[in-house]
Structures are given as structure tokens and as C-alpha cells.
Amino acid sequence: MHSNPLPRLDEHPEICQQLRKLCRLRPGEIWTDPIRGHKVACMDAGDTPSIAALMGGDRAVLAIQDPPYNLVAFETRRLDEYIAWSQRWVSATLSATAPNCSLYVWLGADQRDHFQPLPDFMVMMRAFPVQARSFITVRNQRGYGTQKNWMAVRQELLYYVRGNPIFNVEAEYTDIPKTLRGYYKDVGGERTENLERSKAGTIRAGNVWIDIQQVFYRLEENVSGCYAQKPLKAIDRIIKASSKPGDLVIDFFAHSGTTLLAAEMAGRCCFTADIDPIFCEISIRRLEHYRRTGRTGWQNGHAFEHELQLGSLDDAGTESPINGSTTPTQISLL
Ligand SMILES: C[S@@+](CC[C@H](N)C(=O)[O-])C[C@H]1O[C@@H](n2cnc3c(N)ncnc32)[C@H](O)[C@@H]1O
């Protein structure tokens, strides 16, 4: 099969140099969607005046933030610097939200690099006027660290609220199966077990999600070049639980534009930002591509395939199972 993915952009500065020429936003600029009023901004999530410019007079009811947390993405910043930086973007986030709002933060640990900002982040959050409501675990299918450590197959998602925001999990149908046996009960003189008694084979969403496939190159929603893409299904679940149609959702770490696209699909409006013009451009193009084709990503291609051609590769073993790590053989601007 013909395959023309972008490799991981964090490992290919020479490709990023080419892509920058194709980006419509420069730092500080904001793109406004002419159709639904979404906005994409090239700015620092922790810069409150820039965020104020993005928001205008609007306030979001829901923020979904997925900051970089590993040392590779964050060079060699120390933990206390990371937390001080987190304080700035949380503060900017809260300045952009309505009095009754929900804040979700994806934050994990990098098992390989021994970087675990999660407890420090949770303690830091106590100084903000928000209430910690839940701590969700998303179980990945694939992991790493099987030889010398427990395989890392988990992602953490913190859920905070301010005031009394909407919470609508009842409307949610999931694919989360009943996995645990037990709860024996006598019914009609016979011993039955909960799996055979229950009518539904699935449960409503609790704070452990095991029904979401993480993004990898074979999925339609894959955006090659992106190395930290969240699944649409997870973002859709958050959006449906914590906002209603027409509401404004924010995400200041756009990357592949998952929140923007999920908001579009669920009839919400999204203001999103990324510090890197390339990820702003990818987010805008992903939205446009979806509107044009109905596709949620570029399974075998990429967002810049009309202008930038990578040496074509068939996928006979050249691609890594993890998001877009094929090595291109040649790069040229058309
Ligand atoms: C973990 S990724 C987000 C992934 C995203 N949720 C998705 O599904 O594609 C983090 C993103 O934050 C961006 N970023 C890093 N520092 C930033 C900052 N100070 N302000 C805004 N964006 C930043 C990076 O360029 C990267 O695209």
C-alpha cells in the first residue's frame, strides 16, 4: 500500500524548517474560522495577555489541557521550573473560563526519564480556586518497559471544577465492558454471577476508561508528524460530559488539533492555541480536511502532502507501530 506519512516532527528539525514556510500563522497571530467561529492562535499558553487577546470577551465552560510533560519535550527543565510554568498556564486558563467551569488536565509520568510531575502538580493546584473532582485513568493498549519495569499502559487525566458546572455522564454510552467476575447472588434457588445477571455488557463511564484505542498509524484519525496525539473518543467523552451544544471549549496545547476537531464534530465552538506555528497549521488543516472529506486524519498521508513530498515508502516494515516514525528518504518542496 502506498504510504506517505510525516515522521515525528520533534525528531526532524530539517522537516520543520520546510514546514514553517507553509504555516499561515506567526507567533502572536490568531486564525478565525469563517464557518463556525473556532479560533486557532499561535501563542504561549502561559502568557495571560495573549490569552486575553484570543478570548476577546468570551469565556469557556470547559478547558481540556494536555501540556508537554516529559523531559524530551521539555528539554532539561527542572521539576520546580515545570511547576512554576504550570502555574502560569493554569492561571491563564482560569482567566479564560466562566465562573462555572470544568478543567481537565492530561498529566502523566515519563517512566523512562524518571520525570513525575503529577504529585507536585496536584499540590500546586490546591492554591487555585478549583475543586478536585476526579482522577481518571485511561488504559492504553500498547505500552513500553516490559523487560526491566512494569509496562507503562496508563494515562492520567485530572478533573477539576470551579463553581457548579454541567456534568452529563448519564447521556454517555460506552464500550467499557464488564470485566470483573464476582457479586454472586441466589436467584430462583440458583447461584448466579453478576456477568450472567446483568442485561448490559457494558458500564457507564467511571474513572477508569478501558475502551479507548490510543492513536497509532493504522487509525484513520492518525495525524502523522504528531507525537502526542490524544484519541478523539477520549476528548469527545469529556466534551459531552462537561459541555452542551454551542458551548465554548478551550485547549491551549493544540498539537494535532484533536480538541478543535472533536468540538466541531460535537457542535461546540473551540478556541485553541499552540506555541509552534506548525501545530497551529496542522490543527487548521485537520479541521479543513475533515470538512472537505469527512476524514478525521491522514492515515497514509499528512497535512502538507500537496506541497511537501517525502520519499514514498511502502509500509513493508518501515513504519514504527507508534505514531508516524517512518524515516523519509527524501524531502522536497513542490
Ligand atoms: C502533548 S501535546 C498536546 C496533544 C494534543 N492534546 C493532541 O491531541 O494532539 C503538547 C503541545 O503543546 C505545545 N506547547 C508546548 N509548550 C507550549 C506553550 N508554552 N504554550 C502553548 N503550547 C505549547 C507543543 O508544541 C505540543 O504541540
Which atom of ligand 1 is the closest one to the Cα of 274? 22
* Residue 87 located in a structural domain: yes
* Residue 265 located in a structural domain: yes
Which residues face 110 on adjacent strands?
Answer: 115
| pLDDT tens by residue, 6-23 | 999 999 999 999 999 999
| pLDDT tens by residue, 130-152 | 999 999 999 988 777 778 888 88
CATH code for the domain in which residue 279 is found? 3.40.50.150
- How many independent structural domains does the chain possess? 1
pTM for the predicted model, two decimal places: 0.89
Determine the Cα–Cα distance for residues 177 and 195; give it in Å rounded to an integer.
10
Q: Give the residue numbers spanning the domain of 311.
A: 2-174+211-333
* Residue 206 located in a structural domain: no
| pLDDT tens by residue, 250-303 | 999 999 999 999 999 999 999 999 999 999 999 999 999 999 999 999 988 899
- The predicted model gives 229-239 an average pLDDT of 96
Q: Confirm or reject: Cβ of 223 under 6 Å from ligand 1.
A: no
Query: Cα of 187 to ligand 1 centre, how many Å?
Result: 53
* Residue 189 located in a structural domain: no
* Residue 260 located in a structural domain: yes
Phi/psi for 80 (5° steps) reads -65, -30
The reported pLDDT for the residue numbered 298 is 92
Residue 207 cell numbers, joined: 474513572
Give the list of residues 6+ apart from residue 40 with CB closer than 8 angstroms, or none.
25, 30, 31, 33, 254, 257, 260, 272, 273, 274, 280, 283, 284
Which of 42, 51, 236, 255 best tests ligand 1's pocket when mutated (most atoms within 8 Å of CB)? 255
Give Rg (Cα) of the chain. Answer: 21
Give the list of residues 6+ apart from residue 275 with CB closer than 8 angstroms, or none.
27, 42, 43, 44, 45
Query: Cα of 179 to ligand 1 centre, how many Å?
Result: 34
Q: Confirm or reject: Cβ of 8 under 6 Å from ligand 1.
A: no
Measured by CA distance, the residue closest to atom 27 of ligand 1 is: 255
The reported pLDDT for the residue numbered 171 is 55
Q: Confirm or reject: Cβ of 66 under 6 Å from ligand 1.
A: yes
Residue position matching grid coordinates 477539576: 160
- Is 305 exposed, middle or buried, given 0-12, 13-18 or 19+ CB atoms closer than 10 A? middle
Query: Cα of 66 to ligand 1 centre, how many Å?
Result: 7
| pLDDT tens by residue, 85-135 | 999 999 999 999 999 999 999 997 777 777 889 999 999 999 999 999 999
* Residue 319 located in a structural domain: yes
Q: Which of 167, 27, 175, 170 is nearest to 102 (CA)?
A: 167
Q: Confirm or reject: Cβ of 273 under 6 Å from ligand 1.
A: yes
* Residue 181 located in a structural domain: no
* Residue 239 located in a structural domain: yes
Higher pLDDT, 197 or 80: 80
- The rounded mean pLDDT for the chain is 86
The reported pLDDT for the residue numbered 328 is 34
